[in-house]
Structure 1
Amino acid sequence: MKLTHLLCLLLIPFFMQGQTNDTTIINDGLKSTLLLHKEFLSIPNLPENKEVMLKNIQWAAKKYDALDFKTTFLETSTLPILIAEKEYDPSYKTVLFYFHIDGQPVNPDAWDQDHPFTPVLKEKTEDGKWQKIDWNRLNGEINDEWRIFARSAADDKAPIIMLLSALNILKEKNNTPKFNIKVIFDPEEEYESTALLSTLDMYKERYASDYFIVMDGPTHNSNKPTISFGCRGIATCEITTYGAKVPQHSGHYGNYAPNPVFSLANLVSSMKDEGGKVLIKDYYKGIEIDPSVFEILESVPYDANELNKELGIYASEKVGRNYQESLQYPSLNVRQIGTSWKGKGLKTVIPEYATANIDVRLVPETEGWAQLEKIKKHIKQQGYYVIDRDPTDVERQKYPKIVKFTGLHSVNAFRTSPDSDFGKKVRNQLIEDFNEDPIMIRLMGGTVPIVPLINALDVPTVIVPTVNMDNNQHSPNENIRIGNMRQGIAICLSILRME
């Protein structure tokens, strides 16, 4: 027993020394890393401008060329896919890393700086406002709570820089991973990954790997190392109800011409109870949360009062026992309602039609087309004649209740078991290097458009998010917290040490 204790005491400094060495190297190079990030952010990355997107792709290729990776531009119907590859040993397994290199559209007037593609370093003042500071402040002690503001600062250029920095550190230390590496750079993720998904048949062998890591999305709001083992999918549809053939004056025809807004409201209300549970038959079919699964869900730090306060709501819907459990079920969301009048101001009219735009977040137990069919069947059970076009005059006379139903888009969900060999590899390596269990997210709430690629590769896949939750992703004033940059590099180094 004493010998065991002695060995443990001897080993602790050994592991701590390795982690301390990483921290020292990361901190010593942090200024250069942040300036490299600034340089990358200064290249606009909206796919509508092919010339600037090519500059982004070429910038990344040049950095991986310097690391002795083989870089290739794979031609597509739109923008090329950059793939960087390095074989350290033919006998090793191969890990594929995924990043996207494009960004969301911007409205410069909504940003609190000169331009979204001119990166700004800021710190928070005592009154909670973000104040610009000089980049020369990086010459001194770098504060984890400073942030860099620019489009794509977090989504997804920060993770690109994190892995790049980790690979450079390995090169400086003359170390190599125990697996071969492939890296994909998607030029159109924010635009449904059109280029990448169009190449699945053509370049499937080029993307082939044993494991897949998606470097995208925000970490848990505690900023602790996080692993997401899947993400929800999405399907969308439109439901339209009808009144008179043309909008009518509400004075002349109020109480006579039916208002389609009320029939739409009644129809949508029939789909959920007051607690938010979907009433459509078999909507949750096939989903079981057994004790072992709930244990994973409950392990994620969560304070209902704090979250509700942050959201500004009295209480959550009653679909799940906590936030994480609510994500394990398909959702039914009305994202927009509109009528035939779309001009400015108000008119005293009875609308011609009313439309609800609906999105359904999918889970692995559900498929998009099946959920949409359940919604359509429910509408029919409410007594509606359901078609996929505007009704004819004959149909208006024949059917008292008419709905136009159109399904528009579907990307299915994916999930890898946390108990899979690969899930355990990633988790155990993070435990070893950070001395605590990472936050385990069974299913991320959002959707990544590359699920078809994940399904085509058919290999264990995890999402390793590294950026701060409050990064204003897709919104004005997108930012990355310096502490997350620092930790993200350490997470990448940890992953690169996996065996």
Structure 2
Amino acid sequence: MSNYEAYFQGNRDEHLKELKEWLAIPSISALSEHKQDIQAAAGWLADALTRAGMDKVEVHETKGHPIVYAERLRAPGKPTVLIYGHYDVQPVDPLNLWTTPPFEPAIRDGKLYARGATDDKGQLFLHVKAVEAILREEGELPVNVKFCIEGEEEISGESLPEFLKANKEKLAADAVVISDSSLLEPGKPSICTGLRGLCSLEVTVSTAKTDLHSGLYGGAVPNALHALVSLLDSLHDEKGRVTVEGFYEGVPVLSELEKADLASYNPDERKLAADLGLDSLYGEEGFSFTERTGARPTLELNGVWGGFQGEGTKTVIPKEAHAKITCRLVGSQDPQKTLDRVERHLKANIQKGAKVSIVPGERAFAFTCDPSDAMLQLAADAYEEVYGARAVFTKDGGSIPVVATFSNVLKAPVVMMGFGLPDENLHAPDEHLNLDNFDKGLLTLVKYLHKAAQA
């Protein structure tokens, strides 16, 4: 096998220059004004895959954002690996909290800062360069490789699920490999074997037909903000447990073995709190941090607003108030049933004189896979050879809705090989990627593609 360490070190500056070009494209899928940027990011990726040596590269237009497909199938009798990722990124607000502009990539202290650096352009880029490296060093890939890359992951779009179902044969593979997750901590790799599901909703509480003067009407009419705060407070009890009737239906009870496995990588909770600038952690009573974030469901407020938001004071009783809510789901919790239950709770607990309306959002089932599958075990081996520590099999608190779709439609194991870190500010200002994992990620993926040929 070629000396890939020397290869990647020799090409590191060029690779980082290319990645910066891609990160500079503001491919924010949630904002319609960035539609051209989405197209540009998809085109950039298609060109990069062509330069890498893929035989067929296609940009499929959809009702939403384009899907980039590529393949190189010159390893008869060998497994086929399908690589998934996304080129769209989150919005960047609040801009004032970024040290450098989000779409002007900058390297500081061994970290690459930009929106999309870790989620997911930076991690996806590793796969493109790993394939390119093998082709340049050896002339051919040890396995058959396909890429299927979307531009709607951050908005839970429907284009990719529809594309998967319509192109099952085209996308058929022996493993789906995804790098859109994190190591447990520096030097401690992990492979996610479970993701929480998701459902979301937006709540509007309304009262009078117009805003009212708080001096003339205060204390005598319902206040939309008061009603909303009271309503949101009713969603949890004092022990951090969700009070929505039936919410925990389908939540599995953790076995002693599962508890022990989760405890094996539970962080020092005091140190974690301090690192986050907190006096203490908070959550459902009776569960550890790792259990709360990987094996238990949640109901979180993502945004609350209403009334006067400007500078100074405006003595107004607002007629409307709003909130965005996300539930993370585990086990066999049904996202639609969960939405229905939350809606019933909100309507049953709304303050007298106020009205509540709900707009449902995303829905996704939880995902789980068998860590004993050969394709996952070989990934753990590849990590061990590069990081000096074998990957731990974990359950992740996040949601990647399309993962369950890949598993169900293609009937293939999903290998989640993340190279981010939990503190890299994905979805937040100053998102970044540690370049140590950029370097090690490239080597790990090259080793994995060679090991996958044995499966």
Whether these two folds match at TM > 0.5 is yes
Does the 8 Å CA contact 1:73/1:82 hold for their aligned counterparts?
A: yes
Closer/same/farther in 2, CA of residues 358 and 193 from structure 1, 3 Å limit: closer
CA distance in 1, matches of 2:11, 2:133: 9
Describe the shift of the 1:273–1:173 C-alpha distance in structure 2 as closer, same or farther (beyond 3 A).
same
Q: Which letter does structure 1 place at the counterpart of 2:380?
A: R
In the alignment, structure 1 residue 32 sits paired with structure 2 residue 14: yes
Deviation for aligned residue 1:101:
1.9
Instruction: Work out whether 1:255 is the aligned partner of 2:241.
Output: no
Give the Cα–Cα distance (whole angstroms) in 1 for the partners of residues 190 and 4 of structure 2.
19
2:282 is aligned with what amino acid?
S
After superposition, residues 30-429 of structure 1 pair within 5 angstroms as 30-46=12-28, 48-66=33-51, 67-106=53-92, 111-113=98-100, 115-123=101-109, 146-174=110-138, 178-286=142-250, 287-311=252-276, 312-319=278-285, 321-327=287-293, 328-339=295-306, 341=308, 345-379=312-346, 382=349, 402-429=355-382
CA distance in 2, matches of 1:246, 1:304: 47
AA paired with 1:112? T
Query: For 1:248 and 1:34, how far apart are their aligned partners in 2?
Result: 56
Three-state SS of the structure 2 residue aligned to 1:272 is coil
CA contact (8 A) 1:271 1:279 kept: yes
Deviation at residue 70 of structure 1 after TM alignment: 1.9
Q: Distance in 2 between matches of 1:28 and 1:211?
A: 31
The structure-2 alpha-carbon separation of the partners of 1:402 and 1:61, relative to structure 1 and needing over 3 Å to count, comes to: closer
Query: C-alpha displacement at 1:489, in angstroms?
Result: 0.7
Contact 2:182 2:422 in 1 (8 A): yes
Alpha-carbon deviation of 1:272?
1.4
- Bigger mean CA deviation after superposition, 181-190 or 250-259: 250-259
Secondary structure in structure 2 of the residue aligned to 1:450: helix
Q: For 1:252-307, what per-residue CA distance to the aligned partner results, in whole angstroms no more than 9, with x for missing partners? A: 33333233444443333333122211122332223211122222211225110011
Aligned-partner Cα distance in 1 for 2:220–2:121? 58
**Structure 1 stretches of 5 or more lacking a match?**
1-17, 124-145, 386-398
Q: CA deviation at 1:97?
A: 0.6
Q: Which amino acid aligns with 2:419?
A: T
Superposition deviation, residue 433 in structure 1: 5.1
1:472–1:478 Cα contact (<8 Å) kept? yes
CA deviations 1:442-486 (Å, max 9, x no partner) are: 1x2222242464243343213221123333323343322221111
Q: Distance in 1 between matches of 2:358 and 2:187?
A: 42
Shift of 1:488: 0.8
SS at match of 2:236: coil
Contact 1:319–1:326 (Cα < 8 Å) also in 2: no
Q: 1:264 and 1:441 mapped to 2: Cα distance?
A: 37
Partner of 1:482: 435
What is the TM-score normalised by the length of structure 1?
0.78
CA distance, structure 1, for counterparts of residue 43 and residue 55 of structure 2: 14
Matched with 2:415 is 462
Alpha-carbon separation, structure 2, partners of 1:104 and 1:196: 18
- Displacement of 1:341 in angstroms is 4.9
Is residue 2:398 matched to residue 1:446? yes
Aligned 8 A contact 2:123 2:179 in 1: yes
Deviation at 1:75, TM superposition (A): 2.7
Change (3 A) 1:352 1:462: same
Cα RMSD of the aligned pairs, angstroms, is: 3.1
Distance 1:456 1:449 in 2: 13
Distance in 1 between residues matched to 2:418 and 2:427, nearest whole Å: 16
Q: Deviations over 1:117-176 (max 9, x none)?
A: 3333323xxxxxxxxxxxxxxxxxxxxxx2223332332222233223322332244275
Deviations 1:342-381 (A, max 9, x none): 6654333333344433221122421211112222343465
Q: Does 1:472 align with 2:439?
A: no
Task: Answer whether contact 2:304 2:322 (CA < 8 A) is retained.
Answer: yes
Structure 2 letter corresponding to 1:60: L
Q: Which amino acid aligns with 1:482?
A: L
Q: Is the 8 A contact 2:199 2:364 kept in 1?
A: yes
| Cα distance change, pair 110–329 in 1 and its aligned pair in 2 (3 A) | closer
Distance of 1:43 and 1:281 partners within structure 2:
45
Which blocks of at least 5 consecutive residues in structure 2 are unaligned? none
CA distance in 2, matches of 1:150, 1:376: 38
User: Are the structure 2 counterparts of residues 88 and 296 from structure 1 closer, same or farther at C-alpha, using a change threshold of 3 Å?
Assistant: farther
> C-alpha offsets along residues 379-424 of structure 1, whole Å, 9 cap, x if unaligned?
4655x69xxxxxxxxxxxxx86754344333233222232344333
Q: What is the CA-CA distance between 1:437 and the residue it aligns to?
A: 2.1
- 1:474 aligned partner, one-letter code: H
Q: Do the aligned partners of residues 431 and 479 (structure 1) sit closer, same or farther apart at CA in structure 2, a change above 3 Å counting?
A: closer
Is residue 154–residue 478 contact of structure 1 (8 Å, CA) maintained in 2?
A: yes
8 A contact 1:111–1:477 mirrored in 2: yes
Change (3 A) 1:245 1:74: closer
Q: Is the 8 A contact 2:420 2:434 kept in 1?
A: yes
Supply the distance in 1 between the matched residues of 2:309 and 2:82 (Cα, whole angstroms): 47
* More displaced stretch, 469-478 vs 275-284: 469-478
In structure 2, distance between residues paired with 1:479 and 1:361: 25
Contact 2:117 2:123 in 1 (8 A): no
Aligned-partner residue type, residue 86 of structure 1: R
- Taking structure 1 as reference, are residues 255 and 174 closer, same or farther at Cα in structure 2, changes over 3 Å only? closer
Q: Which residue of the partner structure matches residue 8 of structure 1?
A: none
Quickly say closer, same or farther: Cα 1:195–1:299, change in 2 above 3 A: same
How many residues are paired up? 443
